[in-house]
Amino acid sequence: MPSELEKLWFSQAALSAWQNCPLKFKYRYIDGLYWPLTVEGKVSEHIEMGRKFHLLAQRHFSGGGAGPVPGEPLLAGWLARLQEHFPLTDAEEYLPEYELRGAKNGLRLLAKYDLLVIAQDKVTIYDWKTDERPPRAAFAASPQTRLYLYLLSSSGFYQGEPEQVAMVYWNPRFPQEPLRVSYSARQCQEDGEWLQRLIAEILSTSAFPTTSKEKNCRFCEYRPVCHGQGLEEIQEDLLELEEVDWEQIQEIALQGVNLP
Ligand code: SF4
C-alpha cells in the first residue's frame, strides 16, 4: 500500500474519485496532483458562485449577518431565499462549515458539512447545491450522503439514534424542492459495511486502472495528462456529473490532497 494512503482521511471526494476512475484517485491522493477544473472560465464561474453562496450561508448561520451583495443580483436573490427559509431561532444550534473526522474500526473518515442544525431531539445535515436543477433523488444513495450520515451517526459526535439524523440538499434556485434523506440503524450498519469494503479495496489495490466510461474523462481535470487534450466545451451534461464542485474542492484543500 502506498504510504500516502496510510495517512489519508477518506472524504466523499476521495470515494467518488475512486469510484469514477481509480487512476484519477491515484493522481489526486497518491501523486498529489490537483488543479481546479476550468473551461474558458465557465466552470470556474460555476464554482465561484457556489463558493460565494457557501460563504454567505456561513455568515448567516454564524449569526454575523450576511449581505448586502452589491452588483450580484443572482447571489442577492439566493441569500434572500436562504434567510427566508432558514430564519435563526434560539431553539436550534447552528454549526456552519463544520469539519468532522472519525477513526473507528480502521476507517479514517472525513466530512466537511455545509451546516449542522442541532435541535433538542434531532440533527440535520444541510448541503447547499447551486446548479441549475433541483436536487435529484439519486443523491440519496450517493457516496456523499452515505458517508455524511454514517460519520455523524457513528463517530460519537451525536449520542442519539440514527433515526434522529437526517440530511437535506437545498438549492436556492429551487427553494421549494429540497431533497430530504432520513436515516435508520439498519442503513447505518449497511453504510458502515459498504465503507469497510470500499476502503479495504482501495487500501489493498496495487493497480489503478483508468475509467471504463469515456464520459468520466470528458470533463476530468487530468484529461490533458491522460489524453493530451484540453477540456471540452462546457455542456449541459457537465452539471449532471457533479464531479467537481465547491464541496469537493473544499475537502481536497482541507487535507492538502494527500497530507495528513
Ligand atoms: S482523464 Fe479519464 S482516465 Fe484520466 S484520470 Fe480522468 S477519468 Fe481517469
pLDDT in tens, 207-251: 888 877 777 787 777 888 888 765 554 444 444 444 445 566 555
Q: What is the mean pLDDT of the chain?
A: 84
Cell readout for 121 is 431531539
Q: What is the dihedral of CA 7, 9, 15, 17, to 10 degrees?
A: -60
205 compared with 249, residue with greater pLDDT: 205
Ligand 1: nearest atom to the Cα of 22? 8
Predicted TM-score (pTM) of the model is: 0.87
**Burial class, 208, CB count within 10 angstroms (exposed 0-12 / middle 13-18 / buried 19+):** middle
Of 72-81, 87-96, 246-255, minimum mean pLDDT range: 246-255
Report, as an integer, the average pLDDT of 134-158: 94
Ligand 1: nearest atom to the Cα of 24? 5
Domains of the chain: 3-254 (3.90.320)
Q: Is 220 in the pocket of ligand 1 (CB under 6 A)?
A: yes
Q: Is 217 in the pocket of ligand 1 (CB under 6 A)?
A: yes
Q: Is 23 in the pocket of ligand 1 (CB under 6 A)?
A: yes
pLDDT in tens, 99-131: 999 998 888 999 999 999 999 999 999 999 998
Q: In a mutational test of the pocket of ligand 1, which residue from 223, 238, 244 has the highest number of ligand atoms less than 8 Å from its CB?
A: 223
